[in-house]
Structure formats: structure tokens, C-alpha cells
Amino acid sequence: MAEPASAESPAAAEPTPSEAQTGTKPPVQNENEITVTALRRNVLLDEAPVAISVVDSNILARDNITEVTSLSGRVPGLLIGSNFGGSRISIRGIGFNPIRPGDEGRVAYYVDQVYVARPSAQLASLFDIDRIEVLRGPQGTLYGRNATGGALLITTGNPTPDPSGYLNVTIGNYQHIQVDGALSGPITDTLSGRIAVQTVNHDGYAYNFQTGSRNGNRATAAVRATLLWKPSDAFSLRFSAEHYKADDRNYVVNPIQPGFVVPTIPFLFGSRDVSQPSDPINKLDTTGVSIVATYSPNDYLTATVIGGYRHADGTLLVDGVGCGTFCARSLFRENSRSYNAEFQLAGDGKVFDWIVGATHFYESQTPSLRSAIKGSLFGVTSSPFPVQGTWSQANLVADAWALFAEGTFNITDQLSVTAGVRYSWETKRSLNEISAIDLTTPWPAANMSNFGFIPTTLRAGYPLNRSQNFDSWTPKFAINYEFSPYVSAYATYVQGFKSGGYNYGTVQAPYGPETIANYEAGLRARTMNGALTLRSAIFRYDYSRLQQTVQLGAPTPGTFVLNTGDARIQGIELEFELKLGGFRVDGNGSILDSKFSPYLTIDPNRSALGLIDIGGNKVPQAPLYSFYLGAEYGWDLDGNRVTVRGDWRRTGKTYFDIYNNAPMVQPAYDVFGANVTLETGDHWRFTAFVRNIGNTYAASQRSLQSNALGGIVNGVLIPPRTYGLTAGYRF
């Protein structure tokens, strides 16, 4: 659970992002009140008729959270992992499992109000962050595109009117060395600037017995420059540009357990170490630019223009692990350029608050997937090397527009009603689509290391051009009632929409759009003179034409995205925070009940069963329960401040396929952490930490290889036990 920003925050002494970007000051609040901007206006967290959580810079710094995957469990129902170089973000059981470059998630990801489309770019470092607001549930009106699960809104640090800065150095096991810092201050009377940098390096968590290297290491660097121009109280212009680079082996696929066949060779099941013929290659370069201009001619009206550009260029080379020596080697490539533009006009009145807007998103990307396969599987025994395998590539273009409007009528001081609607229309094209296959020609030895092959045999019907159009109306209705200054409740109905897409390079038809309807009610309360804060929600989702990752067997074998019918998800959530003197306890919990409606399909790994009905099965990435609990105690010592903290995160049984196969289940697991912080005066801060104290072995993602490739279960593991020390100085 979030805590209010304080003096320790990197951006604590700065104007909030909302103030800098909108030219308006947040409402006056006490230390237990948090202002959020996710509703496109400044609203106290406990007055927002929506399920929202805040992770501020204090929490990010305290727990050394430098990547989005480390946010798992910090918010009710939030699970984050990675797969094939892309993020796998799930909220309330609604997520997405990227299987090929070009796939899109269901949780919208924004940095400084600019949409970040690529799951690979979402894995870039978190650094110099002011706050992260997490919206749970479909966001059909204000965010719309690919937000059926919710939205993550990341706001970076702002330039300050006075000189300020900080420098943090972290060292730890696995030769972990991390440096991050920022410098901020005035340039002229109306212009201020900020520059922030970060580098992270550590050894790999897994030893590869065949190559002698450590895999899963991290080597990243990032920089961001921000300018804030305020020539008057009515106008502000914020410009930000950032670049991130990764060049490491930070992707390890571990054999978790056997699938439905008995392995013919020994595997390192239950180990973090691997035995693979080559090391993974992970390269990612991302660049982002955002511009936010705000004009407020009076206290009532505000106009905002947002512009953004994102570029992501990623490469991932990884071996299959089902044969011990060589089964398959896959190269994932992704090059994307996207542009965002949005206009908002908002009115803030005593009786009626409103916002209208228009948005445009355009992306052109060229994803490709090449796989070389063990030749003996296809009768090619004349060469020790694999056959050339398959190659799929396309130029995917998304051109999306939307108009939206939302208004809140304050009927009385206690009762308000909100209504909104968004109309979205989108064109998706798959251009110059290529699918090539060669299962007979050996792969030359000279190309083993650089993957420099291209199968020469195109499949019939390629190259191919395809186009689809989608449109949708997504309404929202909400009612909010304040029983007292300390207790309020809301009820809401929201619809969400996600457009369809392409299984490019395959004979599978394009998949269609999916829709969701959310029925939700929530209660917020502060009691014990503000010492105890509670936030709860109960909800039900009705999902139609749910897009899911499915493995198919003959006659069209492979892994695809298909519409797998309907599903129902319902749940209860709770967040709380208790402060008593120097003692503080915070936590959250989530209970989910999910199931598919009747839908007939074939499990390729158990094809002898014929058609099976997945009706009643659990939805993937929807654990029955999850919770997080943290406790700390702080006291003054000879003019210094000492804080001791421990936390516990438990994630319940989780399925990773629609068939609910036993090998694809991650059992419930626990992760414990602890840290001790010493603050000396106003400048120095030292934190000793340990994460995953019990060295828990658990997978954030599982996948089942085909029986022909060994039939084992692979997984992406959570990090092992890590510990270290951070020394920080700020002024």
C-alpha cells in the first residue's frame, strides 16, 4: 500500500507532476491523504470512484525497485512477469502472455502520459520515478486502448525551482553494482531542468554447464532529461526525453518439471542452473519523448495537449531446453516506432466537473521470429546441425483514434454521479507478411552463432497483406457517496474493449476483438483519528470472446492467439495501513474466482482425448488468492532515524494455460524480505536489505513444450535470494 510522499522522496521537494503539467495546485491534504491524477484531474485518493493504488518514490527507493516486474504483489491482484522478452502484466486475472514479437497486452502502460505499446519496452528500468498509479479494472473512457485489465501510469521526477539532487550507490551479492542519481534546478527565471541517470549491473543467477557462463545477468544504462517552462501561472510546457539500453543475457528459460512424456535425458529440474548449447542474447534499445502543454486561463477551464514518440529495438536469442543438447533455437526481433497525440479540455466547477478529449495513436513495427529446429526430428541425419526451420515476419501497423467525454455532477456535498463514454475506431494492417519453412536443408555451421539464415521456401500464399477495422463504444457510470469526512463508498459500471490482431506468418485467421463489462463497488474509510486507513472493492467481470494463447496440434501445429469464448471473474480486494507512533503496518489482499464458459477445444499434448470442454476451468494468471503484508518500526537515535522493516508476499495456486493441466500449475509460494534504514541528518541515508530470504524457487511464467521437443515444462523464475547495501546522499 502506498504512503504519502515525504522529504526522503527524490521528488518530494518538487511540485507534483500534476501541478507542473496542469498549472493547478493539488487540494490541501493531511499526511493521510493522497492526491491522484489518473482521472485526468486532481482528486483525493479516497474520493475517486475507482479502484486505484499508488506506489510512491519512497517505496520504490526503500525496496530498490528498478524494474516493473518487482511491483508484483505491491497492489491487490497485480502480478508481473516476463516471457520471450516482453512484460506479462496481469491485474485481477486479466493479463496477456506474449508469445511472439508484436503482441499487445491488456494493461495499458503510460510514462509521463504517453502510451508505451511494446511489452519489451515496458521492461526498461524504473528510475527517478515520482509515483506509479495503478488503476484496477477496465478503463474504457479515459484510457481505452488495451486497458481491459487496467492501467499503470508512471510519472517521472520533475524539475525543481531550487537546486536539488541525489546520488545512490548500491552493492550486493551476484556482484551487483547500481548507481542512480538526479540533478535538478533553475536555468532561468521561467525555465528549470532535470537530468537523471542509472546503471545496473549484476552477474547471472544461473550457471550454464555447457558454456561455462552465468546467464540471467543484467547490464543496463538509462538517462532522462526534463525541461519545465512556466512563463506565467496560466501556461506550462514540460518536455522529457529518455534513452534506455540493455545488452546482457537477462533471459533464462529453466526446465521446471516433466510434462506428459517421460524425459529420455536428465534435466536440472528444480535448479536455477541450466545446461544449454548456447547462452541467451538480450538486447534492447528504447527512446521516448513526451511533451505536455497546459493552459489555464482561469480557475475553471484547463486545456492540455500531449504529444509523444516511442522507439523500441529489441533482440532476443534463446535455446529450447527439451533435448539436452539441441532442440530449437529462436531469434525474436522487434523494431517499433509509435506516435501519440491527445487533446483535453476540462472544466472544474463546484457543481459539475467535466473533461472532453480526442486521441490518436499510430504504430509501425516490424516483428520477426526465426526458429531453427533439430534436424533429426524430421529425418535429416546427414548433418550435426539443425535444419533451417521457420521464419515469420510482417510490418504491423496500428492506426487508432478515439473521442471521449466524462462528467461528474456533484448533487450534494456528499453525493456525486459520474457518466462518461468513449468511441474508439482502429485499423490494423499486416503488410508484406512472410512465412517461410524449410525442414530439410541443414543449417550451415558458420551460421550457428550469428543466426544468419533465411529459409528460402515461402509457404503458399505469401507474401500477404491483410487489414481489419474495429470500433467500439465504451460507457462508464459511477456513483460516489460520502457518509462522513472519513467514510465513503462508490459503485460503478464500466465497459472495456481490446481490438483483434494477427497470428502473422501462420495459416491461422486473425483473431477478433474482446469486450469486458465490470460491475464494482468499493468502500474507503479512515478511523482511529486517521491512524487506520482501509480501502476495499468487490467486483464481477463478464468477459466476451477472451483472447488467449493456445497451442494447436495437427494439421496446423503451433502456438497462437485465439478467441476462446467467454469467461467470468469475480473477486474481493482490501488495502490497509495502520500507523501508531513509530509502528506501521501496511498490506493488501485479493481473492479471485474465475472460470471459463463452455468452450470445446483440443489439447495438443493430450490429443487422444479429442475435443474437451474447458468450461469451468480457471482463467490463466488468476490466482485464487494473493496478499502482501509489511511491518516496520522507526525510532530516533542520537539525532538519527532508524527504521526496521519486514514484509511477506504470498501468491496462491496459479494456472498458466486454459486447459488447467497439472504440469502448468504454479503451487502457492511465499517470498519474504527485510531492510534496515539509517538516516543521518537531512542528507545521508543507508539501507541494508535482503529479498527472497528463503530463496523461494517459483516461476512467474510457465510454458509446455510440444511432446516432439521433449514435452517438458519451462519457466521464468523469480529472482533468488539477493542482499546488499545502498548509500544515498541528497541535497
DSSP 587-634: EEEEEEEEEEPP-EE--GGGGGG-SEE-TTPPPTT--SEEEEEEEEEE
pLDDT-based confidence at residue 461 (cuts at 50, 70, 90): confident
Q: How confident is the model at residue 23 (pLDDT cuts 50, 70, 90)?
A: very low
Q: How far apart are CA 612 and CA 569, in angstroms?
A: 21
The answer to whether residue 29 scores a pLDDT higher than 60 is no
- pLDDT value, residue 221: 96
Using CA atoms, how far residue 429 sits from 144, 466, 468, 510, 664, in Å, is 20, 6, 6, 11, 34
Percentage of residues in the chain having pLDDT higher than 70:
88
- Do residues 353 and 41 touch, judged by C-beta distance below 8 A? yes
Quote the CA–CA distance of 101 and 103 in Å, as a whole number: 6
Q: What is the mean pLDDT of residues 480-499?
A: 94
Per-residue model confidence as pLDDT tens digits over 116-166: 998 888 888 899 999 999 999 999 889 888 899 999 999 999 999 999 999
Number of H helices, E strands in the chain: 2, 43
- The confidence score (pLDDT) of residue 69 equals 86
Domain borders along the chain are 17-730
Res 113 pLDDT > 80: yes
pLDDT cut 90: percent of the chain above it: 57
* Vertex 696: Cα angle to 691 and 700 (nearest 5): 95
Contact, 278 vs 219, CB < 8 A? no
Residue 648 has pLDDT above 60, yes or no: yes
Give the bridge partners for 469, in sequence order.
427
What pLDDT, on the 0 to 100 scale, is given for residue 3?
43
Report the alpha-carbon distance of residue 189 to residue 559 in Å, rounded.
58
- The Cα–Cα gap between 334 and 107 comes to 20
pLDDT greater than 80 at residue 215: yes
The per-residue pLDDT for 26 is 37
The stretch 40-60 carries a mean pLDDT of: 85
Statement: residue 16 has pLDDT above 60: no
pLDDT-derived band at 408, boundaries 50, 70, 90: very high
Range name among 447-461, 539-553, 575-589 with the lowest pLDDT average: 447-461
Round to whole Å and give the CA distance between 485 and 483: 7
The pLDDT of 180-188, averaged and rounded, is 97
Query: What pLDDT shows up at residue 557?
Result: 62
Listed range (69-78, 374-383, 516-525) with the worst mean pLDDT: 374-383
Report the DSSP pairing between strands 150-156 and 107-111: parallel
What is the average pLDDT value for the chain, to the nearest integer? 87
pLDDT, tens digit, 9 for 90 and up, residues 546-558: 888 777 665 566 6
Q: CATH for 17-730, among 3.30.43.10, 2.40.170.20, 1.10.3210.10, 3.40.1010.10?
A: 2.40.170.20
> pTM for the full model?
0.90
Q: Work out the pLDDT band at 321, boundaries 50, 70, 90.
A: low
> Which one-letter amino acid corresponds to residue 647?
D
Identify the H or E element spanning 19: helix 17-22
Residue type for position 207: Y
Between 523 and 504, the more confident residue is: 523
pLDDT at 387 over 90: no
Residues β-bridged to residue 320:
none
For residue 14, name the pLDDT band (cuts at 50, 70, 90). very low
Q: Which residues contact 681 (CB under 8 A, 6 or more apart)?
A: 639, 640
At 339-353, the pLDDT tens digits run: 999 999 999 888 999
